[in-house]
């Protein structure tokens, strides 16, 4: 069964927010909004994402990170209102 990880966060510290974004990109996720990433995952990769986020936020307060696991059917049944594309500088990410 194909799975997707949806990671959303609310982080006020600029450095931590950038570190989280870079980490999620390195894990193969694509930015779909300023504080939201999604991508295909495996149970092992999901554990790596969770462990990495926990490590990065250690010692910070006022941090909220949520990770949702979606099946392929759930992902495909999403409703998109507005633009599907999030431009991130050059070569923005697109989820189709």
Domain ranges of the chain: 3-76
Label each residue of 58-83 as H, E or C.
CCCCCEEEEEEEEEHHHHHCCCCCCC
Tell me, what's the pLDDT at 94? Answer: 45
pLDDT at 85: 63
| CA–CA distance, 85 with 33 (Å, rounded to integer) | 9
pTM for the full model?
0.85
* pLDDT for position 82: 85
* Ranges under pLDDT 70 in the chain: 85-96
The SS3 assignment for 13 reads coil
**How many angstroms separate the CA atoms of 85 and 77, rounded?**
17
pLDDT of 80: 87
Q: What is the pLDDT of residue 96?
A: 43
Domain 3-76, CATH class in plain words: alpha beta
Q: What is the pLDDT of residue 86?
A: 57
């Amino acid at each position: 069964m194909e799975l997707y990880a949806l990671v959303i966060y609310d982080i006020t510290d600029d450095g931590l927010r950038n570190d989280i974004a870079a980490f999620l990109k390195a894990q193969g996720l694509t930015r779909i909004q300023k504080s939201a990433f999604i991508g295909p995952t495996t149970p092992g990769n999901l554990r790596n994402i969770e462990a990495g986020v926990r490590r990065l936020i250690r010692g910070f307060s006022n941090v909220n990170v949520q990770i949702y696991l979606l099946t392929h059917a759930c992902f495909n049944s999403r409703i998109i209102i507005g633009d599907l594309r999030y431009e991130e500088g050059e070569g923005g990410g697109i989820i189709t």
